[in-house]
Amino acid sequence: MSARDDIAAGRTSLGIELGSTRIKACLIGSDPSEVLATGSFAWENRLEDGLWTYDLDEVWRGLQHAYADLVADADERHGIRPDAVGAIGISAMMHGYLAFDAAGDLLVPFRTWRNTNTGRAADELSELLGVNIPLRWSIAHLHQAVLDAEPHVPQLDFVTTLAGYVHWRLTGQRVLGVGDASGMFPIDAATGDYDERMLRAYGTLAGDRLPTTAKNLLPAVLPAGAGAGTLTAEGAALLDPTGGLTAGIPLCPPEGDAGTGMVATNSVAPRTGNVSAGTSIFAMVVLERPLTAVHHELDLVTTPAGDPVAMVHCNNGASELAAWAGLFTRFAAAAGHPVDDDTVFDALFREALQGEPDAGGLIAYNHLAGEPIAGLTEGRPLFVRTPDSAFTLANFMRAQLYGVFGTLALGVKVLQSEGVQLDRMFAHGGMFRTAGVSQRFLAGALGAPVTVGELASEGGAWGIAVLAAYLSHAEESSLGAYLDETVFAAASLVTADPDPADVTGFATYLDRYRAGLAIEAAAVDSL
């Protein structure tokens, strides 16, 4: 069937992901591996009153713009504007804190995953529950508000993530996919729901400081393939104010960007993993067995199907790299030879291939925000070299790319110390669009093969579109089987094996990187 036929008949699935810097929309047809149309909207978080946030009005402006952009793209590519789709999925940055009262009004500005003001709460909860509760988890944000006796706490009626909020406004349903929910509160692998023992323990700790139980405040948990409501007329108008989108479309459970990254890289089976690189960077590894100890570098979350996953999450990813690329873009324009962003990235990345394996003694820290794995409460981006280092453009760019993977590599080493083994590691995100560069360096950093697929740059928007398409297949197939047999059966994949020189060079770089974290800490104290 042609793409036009799929769109006309509504044999499509729409995925929308609210990422850190872009809101992306992706439309797929009866062949879920084929992207029919895309749309996007650029946005940025803001630091207000010491906390990272996004304006919820901009959430809706961005969603409307991304959807309109997708409709225009479908019209340009296929000569038809979609007015109905078969299913919709919403994904967004995990964790954070969106708190509402009984009237549905936002009580405090959205607190994103990037905030690191929850240290006391995270420590108290980790000790109480016997699992690592990172700073960015929703329960840490909630408990910190309790500890600080914030005035809004007695008014609390509902706490959710960004994906859960958008889904709620579109459908009226207060639900969350299990993968996203596992970044709010620990999940019991046996039940696929919030851990009841831990909920009771937290209830005793919070006491009468909360107006109701934590479970009552949290969204209901659903696995991939479960129905999660339908698009209401009000929801349709929120997505498409022109009135072109019809109500009644089924939605899959809303998911976090970690879960959609697993789907987008076919990494939902044990001994598989993926790395997602954007404003943040994280690695997800599906576990065969429980870990033997609690590690502050590792979260325990789940796949969208509810299987246990170890997550190495770093607050800082490719933003500092993009800032440097922007500087070179401006230089080219100032020199009278303007080039577009993609050309600049391609040239700089390929130059990095000429750098020395250890980046010539140069070190780049990408810490715009605090980085718990590195022991940093705030961020200070730094580029450091010694007088005898080899300061070339090639080494500079290799150091910048290595810097994106630096903190991630520290966390992955903890996983390796647990004896966790991988059959394959997939990577996705915009920085992998230049073939053979970031992928090669990541393989060297991890000491493991890294695979990139042809849809790597579409990332989570495509992943959540696939989860929406899975709604009509869940009764006859597990998520893993659906991905293997339907979505990725004919996928074009490229694997980079670790180059021994890169492995040795990155290890030298990482030793310097770890030693230089004291410089970062001093910068936080001094600047």
pLDDT at 516: 96
**319-454+497-526 topology per CATH:** Nucleotidyltransferase; domain 5 (3.30.420)
pLDDT at 271: 86
Instruction: In whole angstroms, give the CA distance from residue 384 to residue 443.
Output: 24
CB burial readout 392-421, b (16+ within 10 A) else e: bebbbbbbbbbbbbbbbbbbbebbeebebe
Task: Find, among 294, 117, 127, the residue nearest to 205 by Cα.
Answer: 127
* pLDDT (tens digit per residue) in 203-261: 999 999 999 999 999 999 999 999 999 999 999 999 999 999 999 999 999 999 989 98
Strand ranges inside 391-435, DSSP E: 424-428
* pLDDT (tens digit per residue) in 41-90: 999 999 999 999 999 999 999 999 999 999 999 999 999 999 889 999 99
Phi, psi of 358 (to 5 degrees): -100, 15
The whole-number average pLDDT for the span 449-475 is 86
pLDDT at 455: 58
Task: Find, among 181, 96, 404, 164, the residue nearest to 275 by Cα.
Answer: 404
Residue ranges covered by each domain of the chain: 319-454+497-526
Alpha helices in 79-135 (DSSP H): 119-129
* pLDDT (tens digit per residue) in 301-324: 999 999 999 999 898 999 999 999
pLDDT higher than threshold 60 for residue 435:
yes
* pLDDT (tens digit per residue) in 275-287: 988 888 989 999 9
Instruction: In whole angstroms, give the CA distance from residue 383 to residue 158.
Output: 43
> Using 50, 70 and 90 to split pLDDT, how confident is the model at 356?
very high
Q: When comparing pLDDT for 370 and 146, which is higher?
A: 146
Parallel/antiparallel/unpaired status of strands 255-256 and 87-92: parallel
3-class state of residue 38 by DSSP: strand
Task: Find, among 3, 19, 5, the residue nearest to 462 by Cα.
Answer: 19
Task: Find, among 264, 258, 177, 190, the residue nearest to 224 by Cα.
Answer: 177
Percentage, residues of the chain above pLDDT 90: 85
pLDDT at 456: 47
